[in-house]
Each structure stands twice: as structure tokens, then as C-alpha cells.
């Protein structure tokens, strides 16, 4: 299909040209509208799941933040946490400054971390905040496990002579292919046998296993474009294999490792089926709470939670996209 309509196009060609674009527009609408529409609905002042007449008339009273207030609860010390985090970040930045680098990122990162930790510190039995805290405790540990094991294995797999490469690859990718309900059933049976069912450790191990295929796929994809003569050059200049790995290979594949990690994180953070079976009430995560909420009594607070998750996915998507471009630039491809 040409991108522009030639001046001599017949009526039929014109109709098809615009008609096709309208069809595609409708499909894009189908893809994106359900996600967008929950955002205004989450500001509904009533307990309804549709637009009230007041909302349609853009009446300010018909909108409110009450579902967000319900989501965040009232306990916690977010502002204290924020202040502590900002202070800590500023200290780190000052340290960096003396070491000769003007980097203000620590202030931002520690500020956000302080806000979250302050909010979630020591919460018990809150409807939404406790599950959120559980999610934020499980996902990073699972991500760390899958990234460290996965990166090592991906480097091993990208070597030129690997025996049984196909079989190993098939096993390592299988957690992504096997239906979640089957993984969940198997893990439930097996983890009950070895006493991991209903423990924090059990959920972490299960989520790490589910995240590994994503790390393997992204890191091997980055390693495909890796120029091996760089490591040989490093060795030639006297670097030992460990130095070569950390100074040469790691910085180059880091974008792939980070996006693999983000995939693993989102896998764990969004995962419901396995955690329902492997976890117990003490490990209830945010998606689990949403699932329960949707199945039993659906409350508009779910829409507030959903909106927050959409915001998080937009941030993650942006980061992954930026990393992909950086990786392609580092490997000398023109970013597309």
C-alpha cells in the first residue's frame, strides 16, 4: 500500500484508501479505548461503573478522588519517608559530586523510594496497601533471581559450542509456554510436598521461574549483535576474564539485561494464577486482591488501582523502548 494517494486514483481506489484507514482506526480504538476509558471512570464520585449524567456534563462535583483515597488508605508515613529519601539521595549526590560526577538522579530515585517505603512501612490488614506491599516485596526478589541466573545462562548459551543447545533452550523457555494453570497446579502439589506452599520463598521461587524465559530471550537477543573481537581485544590488552566481563561485555549487554529484568518484574507483579495456588493469605498480592475484588463484590476502587497500574506500565514501556534504542545504538545499528 502506498502512503500517498496518487492524483489519478479512481473513486474505488480512493474509497478503499480511506476505508482501510478507517478500519485500522477502529481496530486501534478497540485496542486502546478499554484501557483509556477506565481512567475517567476511576474519578467517579458515585459507586457506579458507567458515566453518570453529571460526569457527562463535566460537572466538577461528579468527579472525586474518593476511590484513590480508599486505595491508599490513611496509615503510613509517606511524607516522612519522602523527606528521609530526599535527604539520603542528596547525601549520595553530594558524595558523587566530591568524586567528580554531577549526578542528581539519586535524589529523584531515593525520594520516590522513601515515599513508597514510608507509605508501606509496617502496614497490617489494609485492603489495598498490604497487597501492594506484598507485591513490592515479592517482585524485586524474584526479578533479582531470574536476572542473575538468566544472564549467566544466556551468556553460556551464546557461546559457539554448546552441547544440547536446542533441548536446553526448550526447557528454559517452557515456563512461558506451559499454561499458567498447569504450572500453578504442579507447583501447588510439589511445593506442598516440600513445605514451600504458602511461604514467601515459595512464591518468589515460582515467580522467578516464570520470569526466566523473558530474561533469556532479551539477553540472548542482545548478545546476538555482540562483537566478540571486543573481548579478545580486552584480553589482548591484559584484562582477565572477570574484568573483561564487567568492563566490556556487561556495559554493552546492560540494556538487554535491564529490559529482561523489567519483563521479569512485570511478570511477577502482574501474576495472579500461580500466586493464588502457591501463596497463602499472608502473600496476597495486588493482582490477587483485584481478582478477588472482581470475582466477589466489584468495587470502583479496582478502577483506581487499575489506573495506577496503567500509569506504571506506561513508565515501564517508555523505559524499555528507550533501552532498546540505546542498545541498538551501542551495537552500531541505526535505531528504528
Of the two residues 163 and 238, which places its CB atom closer to other proteins in the complex?
163
Q: And the C-alpha cell for 28?
A: 486501534
DSSP annotation string for 252-280: HHHHHHHHHHHHHHHHHHH--HHHHHH--
Give the Cβ contact number of residue 238 at 10 Å: 7
**208 sits near other proteins (criterion: CB under 8 A):** yes
Question: Which residues make beta-bridge pairs with 63?
Answer: 44
**35 sits near other proteins (criterion: CB under 8 A):** yes
Query: Cβ(208)–Cβ(183) under 8 Å?
Result: no
**160 sits near other proteins (criterion: CB under 8 A):** yes
Given the rule CB under 8 A, which of 31-39, 57-65, 98-106, 108-116 is the region that contacts other proteins? 31-39
**152 sits near other proteins (criterion: CB under 8 A):** yes
- CA-nearest of 271, 165, 163, 164 to 214 is 271
**157 sits near other proteins (criterion: CB under 8 A):** yes
Place of cell 515456563: 175
Q: Distance (Å, rounded) from C-alpha 266 to C-alpha 214?
A: 10
- Chosen residue from 34, 100, 122, 125 binding other proteins by CB under 8 A: 34
Given the rule CB under 8 A, which of 60-68, 89-97, 100-108, 146-154 is the region that contacts other proteins? 146-154
Of the two residues 51 and 226, which places its CB atom closer to other proteins in the complex?
51
Q: What distances in angstroms separate CA 158 from CA 63, 88, 148, 163, 168, one per listed residue?
A: 54, 40, 16, 12, 12
Q: Using DSSP, state whether 153 is helix, strand or coil.
A: helix
Q: Distance (Å, rounded) from C-alpha 198 to C-alpha 247?
A: 41
Name residues contacting other proteins, limited to 290-319 (CB under 8 A).
290-291, 294-295, 298, 302-303, 306, 309-310, 313-314, 316-317
Query: Cβ(176)–Cβ(214) under 8 Å?
Result: yes
Q: Distance (Å, rounded) from C-alpha 28 to C-alpha 79?
A: 40
**322 sits near other proteins (criterion: CB under 8 A):** no
Of the two residues 160 and 240, which places its CB atom closer to other proteins in the complex?
160
**171 sits near other proteins (criterion: CB under 8 A):** yes
Name residues contacting other proteins, limited to 258-287 (CB under 8 A).
259, 263, 266, 269-270, 272-273, 277, 287
Mask for 183-202, x = binds other proteins (CB under 8 A): xxxxxxxxx-x---------
**170 sits near other proteins (criterion: CB under 8 A):** yes
**159 sits near other proteins (criterion: CB under 8 A):** yes
- CA-nearest of 82, 69, 167 to 117 is 82
**30 sits near other proteins (criterion: CB under 8 A):** yes
- CA-nearest of 142, 144, 124 to 133 is 124
Of the two residues 77 and 245, which places its CB atom closer to other proteins in the complex?
245
Write down the least CB distance from residue 233 to other proteins, Å: 19
Write down the least CB distance from residue 164 to other proteins, Å: 9
**87 sits near other proteins (criterion: CB under 8 A):** no
Of the two residues 79 and 190, which places its CB atom closer to other proteins in the complex?
190
Amino acid at each position: 500500500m502506498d502512503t500517498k494517494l496518487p492524483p489519478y486514483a479512481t473513486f474505488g481506489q480512493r474509497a478503499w484508501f480511506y476505508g482501510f484507514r478507517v478500519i485500522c482506526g477502529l481496530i486501534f480504538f478497540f485496542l486502546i479505548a478499554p484501557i483509556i476509558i477506565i481512567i475517567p471512570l476511576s474519578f467517579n464520585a458515585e459507586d457506579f461503573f458507567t458515566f453518570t449524567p453529571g460526569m457527562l456534563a463535566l460537572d466538577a462535583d461528579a468527579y472525586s478522588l474518593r476511590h484513590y483515597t480508599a486505595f491508599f488508605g490513611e496509615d503510613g508515613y509517606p511524607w516522612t519517608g519522602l523527606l528521609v529519601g530526599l535527604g539520603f539521595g542528596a547525601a549520595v549526590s553530594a558524595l558523587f559530586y566530591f568524586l567528580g560526577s554531577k549526578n542528581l538522579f539519586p535524589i529523584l530515585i531515593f525520594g520516590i523510594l522513601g515515599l513508597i517505603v514510608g507509605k508501606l512501612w509496617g502496614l497490617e490488614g489494609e485492603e489495598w496497601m498490604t497487597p501492594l506491599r506484598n507485591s513490592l516485596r515479592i517482585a524485586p526478589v524474584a526479578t533479582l533471581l531470574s536476572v542473575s541466573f538468566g544472564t549467566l545462562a544466556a551468556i553460556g548459551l551464546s557461546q559457539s559450542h554448546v552441547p544440547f543447545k536446542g533441548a536446553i533452550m526448550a526447557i528454559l523457555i517452557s515456563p512461558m509456554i506451559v499454561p499458567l494453570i498447569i504450572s500453578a497446579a504442579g507447583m501447588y502439589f510439589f511445593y506442598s510436598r516440600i513445605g514451600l506452599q504458602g511461604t514467601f520463598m515459595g512464591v518468589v521461587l515460582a515467580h522467578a521461574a516464570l520470569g526466566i524465559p523473558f530474561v533469556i530471550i532479551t539477553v540472548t537477543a542482545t548478545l546476538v549483535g555482540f562483537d566478540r573481537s571486543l573481548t579478545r581485544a580486552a584480553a589482548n590488552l591484559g584484562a582477565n576474564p572477570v574484568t573483561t566481563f564487567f568492563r566490556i561485555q556487561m556495559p554493552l549487554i546492560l540494556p538487554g539485561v535491564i529490559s529482561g529484568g523489567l519483563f521479569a518484574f512485570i511478570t511477577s507483579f502482574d501474576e495472579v494464577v500461580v500466586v493464588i495456588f502457591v501463596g497463602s493469605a499472608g502473600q496476597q498480592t495486588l493482582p490477587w486482591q483485584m481478582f478477588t475484588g472482581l470475582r466477589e463484590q466489584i468495587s470502583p476502587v479496582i478502577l483506581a488501582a487499575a489506573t495506577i497500574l496503567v500509569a506504571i506500565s506506561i513508565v515501564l514501556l517508555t523505559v524499555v523502548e528507550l533501552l532498546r534504542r540505546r542498545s541498538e545504538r551501542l551495537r552500531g545499528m541505526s535505531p528504528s
